[in-house]
Structure 1
Amino acid sequence: MASIPYADPYVDAVLPRGVVRIGTADEPSPWLDIRHLAAHVDAVDVVHLHVGYGHLDAAALEAWAEELQRLGVPLVVTVHQLRDPAQVSPGRRDASLAAVLATAEVVFTLTPGAADEIAERYGRTAIVVAHPSITVADPELGAERGLVGVRVGAASGAVPDPPALVRAALSGAVSGGGRLRILVEDVAAPGLDPAIVALADEGGVELVRYRAGEWTAALQRLHVAVLPERYGTHSRDVEICRDVGTRVVAPSCGWFADQWSEVVPYANDEHGGLDPVSLAAAIGAALTRPMPRPADQVWREGQRAAVQDVHAEIYVQVAGDRTWA
């Protein structure tokens, strides 16, 4: 089985035992190159596309999918994002998904809401599989009751006005009897809005920089984590928070609340923008609830095994139906 990408936490978690993953961790994946496909067609039974194809336009993806068909290699697609937070306009993502979903043998997605949207927009039935556990809580690491955290960086299409978001989050944290921590990845720190830096200098909020590999611990220290993007579909951070026991306040776009029952929504999407009153109220409501316990590891391991079994069944099915070029 050729997975695109070759590896990442989700891809690793859903890989069934006994399935041989071939390829390398090169980016972009060589399996997205039509010439590579043709040269190595005898080495692969199934191609599973997850993410990592944003650099290709719809025409290139359509040609790639048609080449897979011509070679007789079945394509499985997992739709993680119906609306890509990394792309300003939805048009490119829509066209890309239309290109690959048109020829996919099987479509997976992570929530019932996303499956309904895929059926409505693309006419495809998607198999819903839960997002499996990708981490475990650190038993030596405590969380602070009342501590609200939000990750910010430079302004972007997904978060066009970071200071406005921070002010609304601060209002919610203070009104709920808590305090606000701004989380900034080290590499993003130079692009932080001066208004946020000034607010931290004045003592209004706490500014904490974290390095790669420290994100899970940063989330575990919180009572509430705020997802700031105004578009997106699913979030890996929701699953990390579930595993470590941190409540989530998530925007109304996408299907974050379908992922976990402990998600508190607030109004924020690309059509209406951020409603600061809604965000403040959601944070206040989240702080009044008890801090959730980390997910039961035995249950999460069973869930992951079930997801792997579903993938194994699909791979066997589509590989058995393969036609050889």
Structure 2
Amino acid sequence: MTEQLLPENVQTWAQAPLPTAPPEPTPAGRLTIASVPAGHPYVRGISGADDGVVRLRDPLPDPADPDRWWPPVVLDAAWITQNADVVDVVHVHFGAESLPPGRLAGALDALDAAGLPLVYTAHDLTNPQLADQAPHEADLDLLISRASAVITLTDGAADEIARRWDRTAVVIPHPAIVAEGATPPPGRATGAFTVGVHLRDIRPGIDAVGSVRTLLAGLTDLRAAGVAAAGRVVVNDRVRDSDALDAVAALLTDRPDCVLVRRPRVADPELEQEVADLDVALLPYRHGTHSGWVELCHDLGVPVVGPRVGYAHEQHPDEFTAFEPDDGVSLARAVLAALARGTRPGSGERAALVQRRALARVVQHRAIVRAHTDVYRTVVRRTGASA
């Protein structure tokens, strides 16, 4: 599950020269999609070999840094004008927050002038990367109001979009996180039930201190009820909020029932192993809308407990148990409910569950790909654009 750390100085990077070589021509009958960003795992999850679509690679703002796609070059009026003849649809997922002021509006004006449709997937109605939501809300006003089609991931988010912007969003669920055909880790059993929380880089949408405080209170209540439960707090060694990390470490002093794991950001296989080892995953969200973490836990057969933040609880409602923040008793009850319907790491039951879900994901993937292709063809017909 790939994390993205946005730069502090996007203004300087935004001045990088635009690529001069246009994309290669698209085979007849196929649509050319400029996804923002094209290299994101989510975009790979909605793509298929036979979907009738060609997705352009991300043009790089700095060729010397090939792993960085932001600020997105596609969302620049000059790039749009230069490539209007070879692009059928621009599909924005993430990255508008990294643009300098005025550039998004200019890009949308250029799309209108070129007659190119915009598809916007509203992943985040509240942006977990940001503390101040005002700039993100301004971006949403532009993107949702001016898009030819709006997609979102849950009915709850679609309802909010209808209330706030009077737009009808197409609901297409989040694709799998674990790659199709991969063999997920089975998890490793321990004696005690393990409740784990990944704080990652402690971005603004993560309530690190409150989540760990609630976890510790819940472990105390579980122990009082005779349940052998242990906590695991995992955090990257590079974080955005070092004060929060210090506070978490202080909370865990003299708590042998909960371990703090500080390690470098890991690759997907290692991250999947960490999650698969859990009996229950605790979501540490302060604010947000949807959750790729919920999808990863689904793929790995791990039940989730979390606060009712955004619409993550709608993604896999039968696998999500809500608790009240800063309420150890509420968390303990949620964990017990999750354990009652969950499976142990490393067990045959967990392995069978993961296999069933992987098979269901194959069917779901085909439906997700088809739904996106239908949206693309609909907006192209509506605007009169052609490949």
Tell me the TM-score normalized by structure 1. 0.89
Q: State how far apart, in whole Å, the 2-side matches of 1:12 and 1:141 are.
A: 26
Structure 1 residue identity aligned to 2:169: A
Q: State how far apart, in whole Å, the 2-side matches of 1:217 and 1:90 are.
A: 34
Determine whether 1:129 maps to 2:167.
no
Determine whether 1:19 maps to 2:70.
no
Q: Secondary structure at the match of 1:234?
A: coil
Alignment of 1:137-286 (within 5 A): 138-144=184-190, 146-152=193-199, 157-159=204-206, 162-174=208-220, 175=222, 176-188=227-239, 191=242, 193-200=245-252, 202=254, 203-210=256-263, 211-213=265-267, 214-260=270-316, 261-268=318-325, 274-286=326-338
Q: State how far apart, in whole Å, the 2-side matches of 1:276 and 1:41 are.
A: 56
Q: Secondary structure at the match of 2:54?
A: coil
Determine whether 1:290 maps to 2:342.
yes
Alignment of 1:59-78 (within 5 A): 59-78=102-121
Q: Secondary structure at the match of 1:241?
A: helix
Q: State how far apart, in whole Å, the 2-side matches of 1:243 and 1:153 are.
A: 19
Q: State how far apart, in whole Å, the 1-side matches of 2:129 and 2:185 are.
A: 34
Q: Secondary structure at the match of 1:23?
A: coil
After superposing the two structures, state which structure 1 stretch, 87-96 or 313-322, moved more.
313-322
Conserved? CA contact 1:69–1:103, under 8 Å: no
After superposing the two structures, state which structure 1 stretch, 224-233 or 184-193, moved more.
184-193
Tell me the TM-score normalized by structure 2. 0.75
Q: Secondary structure at the match of 1:230?
A: coil
**1:73-106 Cα distance to aligned partner (Å, 9 max, x none):** 1000101010001111222222111101111111
Conserved? CA contact 1:45–1:74, under 8 Å: yes
TM-aligned CA distance change 1:76 to 1:156, over 3 Å: closer
Q: State how far apart, in whole Å, the 2-side matches of 1:109 and 1:99 are.
A: 16
After superposing the two structures, state which structure 1 stretch, 73-82 or 11-20, moved more.
11-20
Structure 1 residue identity aligned to 2:53: V
**TM-fit CA distance, 1:23:** 3.1
Conserved? CA contact 1:7–1:25, under 8 Å: no
**1:258-299 Cα distance to aligned partner (Å, 9 max, x none):** 10021111234xxxxx55553344234333433273252221
Q: Secondary structure at the match of 2:232?
A: strand
Structure 1 residue identity aligned to 2:363: G
Count of residue pairs the alignment pairs up: 319
Structure 1 residue identity aligned to 2:341: R
**1:20-71 Cα distance to aligned partner (Å, 9 max, x none):** 1113263222101111111111110100000111123674322321221111
Determine what percentage of the aligned residue pairs are the same residue: 34
In structure 1, which of residues 49, 62, 85 is the aligned counterpart of residue 128 of structure 2? 85
What's 1:271 paired with?
Answer: none
Q: State how far apart, in whole Å, the 1-side matches of 2:377 and 2:228 are.
A: 54
Across the aligned residues of Structure 1 and Structure 2, the Cα RMSD in angstroms comes to 2.5
Q: Secondary structure at the match of 2:262?
A: strand
Structure 1 residue identity aligned to 2:342: P
What's 2:366 paired with?
Answer: 305
Q: State how far apart, in whole Å, the 2-side matches of 1:115 and 1:223 are.
A: 32
TM-aligned CA distance change 1:154 to 1:45, over 3 Å: closer
Q: State how far apart, in whole Å, the 2-side matches of 1:37 and 1:252 are.
A: 39
Q: Secondary structure at the match of 1:130?
A: coil
**1:93-126 Cα distance to aligned partner (Å, 9 max, x none):** 2211110111111111000000000100111100
Q: State how far apart, in whole Å, the 2-side matches of 1:231 and 1:189 are.
A: 16
Structure 1 residue identity aligned to 2:236: E
In terms of Rg, which structure is larger?
Answer: 2
Q: State how far apart, in whole Å, the 1-side matches of 2:142 and 2:365 are.
A: 29
After superposing the two structures, state which structure 1 stretch, 170-179 or 230-239, moved more.
170-179
Conserved? CA contact 2:118–2:148, under 8 Å: yes
